[in-house]
Structure 1
Amino acid sequence: MVLTKEEAARIAATDEPAKKKTKVSEEEDNTDLEAIQNALFSQCLCVVPESVVRRPFLGLKILHHEDAQGHCASAIANWSRNRTLMFVSAVQLLCEESIKQNARGFVCRRITDTCDALVRNRYELVNHLIELSAHSDRFVRYTAGKTLASFFIAARNHIDPRWLERLADNALSTSHPQKMSFSLDVMKRIAEWRDSEEHPLDESDHFPPSSCHFLNVRESELDSYQIKCLTVKALETKWPSIVEKFERQLATNLCRDDSGVVIFLGLWEAIISVKANLSIVDTKPFYVHLPNFVAILNSRISPIVWKHTLDLFNEVLCYGSTLALQESLAEEPCSLAHLIVRSVKDWKLLESIPFRGGSGKFGGGSGDGDKPLLKKAVLMVLKAVAVTVKETRCESSSDSSSSFSSEGEDADDDMAVIERSIREVLRQLDSCIKTLLPYHPEAPLAQWVAQLFSDQDDSLIEAMICCLDVTIGLFQRENASQDLKKVLSPSLTLAQFLRTVSYGEDVLLDLLISNETCFLLYLLKVLKYLKKNWPEFVTACKNELSDIMGVLSRLHAAIDRLINRSLFPYNITPVLKLLEKCERLYDGSDSAMPHNR
């Protein structure tokens, strides 16, 4: 139907009051949102009238409706970009301030009441935020996702599981590809959440204004474990379909944008991570598809996807923080380790690393190359080797306790087979590193490992533990290869490590006190090794023996001083006893050597 000029003018004149009313209403809402945000910056909403706090949310409830097909049409979809961002940001500030105040032990009553109204779904906030996953503006989508995650954390133990089910269903949407990334990113933020203490820089001025009516809260309200469990449970049944989609994209090289893959891999890593504090039962279904992604790693995959896949595998093979401490290992990390060892040995996995960005052997581009990517790959291989050896060693110990001597002999034969595989894997790793980085051709792996990771304390120490445990596991056999023992020499690794930190006992003391690395585990293991293999240590480190023992002696003295002042944070007695034993061995081996304690 074609309108005449007169009819069009009449309709426009009729709509003009409505447009003006909408514009005035939006300006009022924006003013309300500014008042809410400014008050939240002061950590209290008591100064804002309740009607002003509620008004931006009332519009959501009134205008939210279903279309003829039964699909929900959100009022937010019709808002301007500026108003949408203001509203979503105000909700994010509200939730984050609630989280902070809960951590401190008190909350503003008005903030609590507002959050309770949102949790009771009075305004259908969750539905509105999920619908923004289809918004055309990526900044709106990003802010909405961040806000939704903050809302779930703030709500904690009062979450309706149906919200998470809808979020998980949204991840399988085919109408808008960005919906999957939105949902997975929200779940990733929840899984990564840490119930930690307040940062020291945030401690000042943390009490509410004198006009605030605040409430004390119980410590039990601070735990985010339940929301993490609910999130993982909602995702569990959808996970095979999600994995299959990304696996197909990567395997067929159909992925044009890596951002969605990165979010997916980040979520996977967050769920499996020991830091998430989830139970084995909750995370077990998420290990099933890991082997498929080892096969996907090839020269066609982009460096960014390589890095995040390696991060995922390194998290599964969490050797220093978990696996090295366990009496027996779970099947899942062992299976992944076996596959990685085989992929390196038989399928030349290391040759596919896009070190210089191109395809083919180590990438065909120019420049210095992607050293962070290379380090992730090296750490993964060392962890896979350590897990394989530890698993075989555990089985050997079990068999040797059997009354049947043939079982013990079979286990020893198994270790010999493992040793041959490990020798080839480490040979290929050594060749790869010396092809790509300027290390001396004769430098053993034991030495360049400490050099390669010298700027990453956590990776360095975990790599040293892997090499040490592989040595201990392989060379308890009488017929073990002495050449491989030199390649992995823990004495040379310790010497290079101490050389890297300039023989500074303060650095060692900081690493011992910090909970960010597994240095305590390494120091205990390496001191035990030195005690049992003292002649080898003296021979390997003859020119540096006085420097090495000097820093260990000074470390001993520094620990003693802290203990005398009751400042050492845990029982360090086992380390002290080993240090004393090594010092006595040193005094007996060469009393003429100068001591620097």
Structure 2
Amino acid sequence: LLSHLAAKSVSSYVIFELRCFVSFLIALISCVIYDYIVLHSQVRTVEKLLATFDTALTAAYSQLVPVESLGHGNSASYPSSNTADWATTLTNLLDLLEVLTAARFKLSTTSVCFTSSRLSLVQASALLRIVDSHVHYFVKKQVLLLLKRILLQKAGEDMGFGEASSLTHGDDHMTSDILTLADDVLQAVHTDWLQCVPVESAAIFFGGTGQSCGGSSDAFDHVMLRAVSLVVLKSLEYKIQSAGVCNTIGIHGYLSALLLFLRQRGVQLKQGSHSCCWVSLVFGEQDDDMMEAAKALLLLYLHHRVSSDLEADAVCVVGGNPHCHFLFLLRNISFDHSILLDFLISTETCFLEYFVRYLKHLRDDWEGFRTVSPCLQPSLCLPSGSATALASTPPLRLVDYGSSEESETEDGDLPSGLTQDRLHSDSVVHTHNSHSFDRTVMCLTELRVVVTRLQRRSLFPYNATSLLKLLTQIEAKRCCSQR
């Protein structure tokens, strides 16, 4: 008996030491790759390093991730999966996967496309199984954040790798690998994987050692909710871009599953509220993620509208109407055109791309916008008490646009009929005489005036001629609708 216990103790110690060594080795390789790419830009050295460890890293990945089938109720398990050393090993492995993926995105050469640098994309199903396993919650959260950054092509940005190259400039396997990742995510959603994704209460203490109490939506981990939402939305976006116009992939089914997941995990829509407000509720003040979600939903809507007869009511049921999303965005910023200008100038979000796409859609579907705007209640996307706070607190801005020498002529540039209406645009909550439709057009008109003035004085950071043309066309639509 003593010999058996001694042998068992020694074997446990050896396994523990091996895990520590593997964890140390993974962390070391991550640091070396980061050092040579970010600090020294030595591509050849990184290629030699990856060539040396490619087989070993691929084997380590297959050993450290779950191997059981994915599905609701079939949680994968690890030996001693709840121990801190195992969680540390998985965390280091996920960091390494992000470094490898970031190196691939950053270098964009076929010679760097080793098997190990493709693991997080072509074997993403194994990562999804981690979320349905018995590991620590923060490991599951790290998995989803990694997948989100990969799908947004932002892997390694927080590590200093900088902006990734476009998929069209990547290696020969980049596009197919991204589609494989998207397929794995959508297949998981189809098998009720979302029902296995945990969302705990948000950590409130420094370091995340405590959790908030209460049943309000603010008590839940919105970082996790945003990650899951973007992983699903971006996967759908990549899928429709490859599927073609005539191939519909059941977008409504996936959006319905996502909306059900959000409601079950604490996103509380008020009684009788509009389903499309979930974007504002989930993403809140996280501007970069919100713009990515809005852009993806717009592309999904445009694809589905072309491939099938689509009615606004049916889209709103699953929270996918782009007109509603834009209106909720404007209401959250109190219809302040200067905040839209901040978004246009900032390089931290994809707002410019989203805004141009939406303006084209607004121009082509003007009647759809007129139909939707009166149906939305003003309090749906503003928490109680926030209207007063927004009205009394001036918004933070990147630039003081009122300091321009020509700022006193701004009202004179507004079309006839809008100058007086502008006096009523400062309140956050709508009155009977101030509707979403009029305030939206007024906000876009004021934005056009400011951008025109800045571009005329060569103060705008890029050529906004196409944007100004779209804004002018929107104003013309409004004038025609009043006749």
TM-score, normalisation: structure 1: 0.55
Counterpart amino acid of 1:369?
F
Computing the radius of gyration over CA atoms, which structure comes out larger, 1 or 2?
1
Q: Closer, same or farther in 2 for the Cα pair 1:247/1:512, shift >3 Å?
A: same
- Residue in structure 1 matched with residue 234 of structure 2 by the alignment: 383
The Cα shift of 1:454 comes to 1.9
1:344 aligns with 2:189: yes
- Residue in structure 2 matched with residue 517 of structure 1 by the alignment: 349
Within-5 A mapping of 1:263-302: 263-273=92-102, 277-279=106-108, 281=110, 282-283=112-113, 285=115, 286=118, 287-298=121-132, 300-302=134-136
The Cα shift of 1:315 comes to 2.6
Higher relative contact order (CA 8 A, sep 6+): 2
1:464 aligns with 2:294: yes
Asked whether the 8 Å contact 1:272–1:283 carries over to 2, the reply is no
Asked whether the 8 Å contact 1:243–1:289 carries over to 2, the reply is no
The Cα shift of 1:186 comes to 3.7
Asked whether the 8 Å contact 1:229–1:278 carries over to 2, the reply is no
Q: Which runs of 5+ in 1 are unaligned?
A: 1-172, 197-220, 358-364, 397-411, 592-597
> CA offsets per residue over residues 108-166 of structure 1, 9 Å max, x none?
xxxxxxxxxxxxxxxxxxxxxxxxxxxxxxxxxxxxxxxxxxxxxxxxxxxxxxxxxxx
> CA offsets per residue over residues 293-325 of structure 1, 9 Å max, x none?
223321523221111111222133227998998
> CA offsets per residue over residues 179-229 of structure 1, 9 Å max, x none?
333333344345556989xxxxxxxxxxxxxxxxxxxxxxxx964544544
- Residue in structure 1 matched with residue 278 of structure 2 by the alignment: 448
Q: What is the alpha-carbon distance in structure 1 between the residues aligned to residue 314 and residue 330 of structure 2? A: 23
The DSSP-based 3-state class of the residue aligned with 2:335 is coil
The Cα shift of 1:557 comes to 1.9
The DSSP-based 3-state class of the residue aligned with 1:439 is coil
Higher mean C-alpha displacement, 563-572 vs 476-485: 476-485
- Residue in structure 2 matched with residue 201 of structure 1 by the alignment: none
> CA offsets per residue over residues 51-101 of structure 1, 9 Å max, x none?
xxxxxxxxxxxxxxxxxxxxxxxxxxxxxxxxxxxxxxxxxxxxxxxxxxx
1:247 aligns with 2:73: no
Q: Closer, same or farther in 2 for the Cα pair 1:276/1:478, shift >3 Å?
A: closer
Asked whether the 8 Å contact 1:191–1:276 carries over to 2, the reply is no
1:373 aligns with 2:227: no
The DSSP-based 3-state class of the residue aligned with 1:571 is coil
The Cα shift of 1:338 comes to 2.1
The Cα shift of 1:493 comes to 0.2
Within-5 A mapping of 1:4-403: 176-189=18-31, 191=33, 223-248=41-66, 251-255=77-81, 256-257=83-84, 258-273=87-102, 277-279=106-108, 281=110, 282-283=112-113, 285=115, 286=118, 287-298=121-132, 300-318=134-152, 330-346=175-191, 348-356=192-200, 367=214, 368-393=219-244, 396=245
- Residue in structure 1 matched with residue 477 of structure 2 by the alignment: 585
Q: Which runs of 5+ in 2 are unaligned?
A: 1-14, 68-75, 155-162, 202-211, 375-434
1:552 aligns with 2:386: no
The Cα shift of 1:373 comes to 1.2
Q: What is the alpha-carbon distance in structure 2 between the residues aligned to residue 239 and residue 563 of structure 1? A: 52
Aligned residues: 366
**2:256 paired residue among 404, 423, 427:** 427
- Residue in structure 1 matched with residue 323 of structure 2 by the alignment: 491
The DSSP-based 3-state class of the residue aligned with 2:65 is helix
Asked whether the 8 Å contact 2:104–2:113 carries over to 1, the reply is no
Counterpart amino acid of 1:389?
I
TM-score, normalisation: structure 2: 0.67
The Cα shift of 1:278 comes to 2.2
The Cα shift of 1:427 comes to 1.3
The DSSP-based 3-state class of the residue aligned with 1:177 is helix
Counterpart amino acid of 2:196?
S
Asked whether the 8 Å contact 2:455–2:463 carries over to 1, the reply is no
- Residue in structure 2 matched with residue 33 of structure 1 by the alignment: none
Q: Closer, same or farther in 2 for the Cα pair 1:302/1:566, shift >3 Å?
A: same
Counterpart amino acid of 2:181?
L
- Residue in structure 1 matched with residue 389 of structure 2 by the alignment: none
Counterpart amino acid of 1:498?
L
Higher mean C-alpha displacement, 517-526 vs 251-260: 251-260
Asked whether the 8 Å contact 2:185–2:235 carries over to 1, the reply is yes
Q: Closer, same or farther in 2 for the Cα pair 1:222/1:432, shift >3 Å?
A: closer
Asked whether the 8 Å contact 1:181–1:260 carries over to 2, the reply is yes
The Cα shift of 1:380 comes to 1.0
Asked whether the 8 Å contact 1:269–1:311 carries over to 2, the reply is no
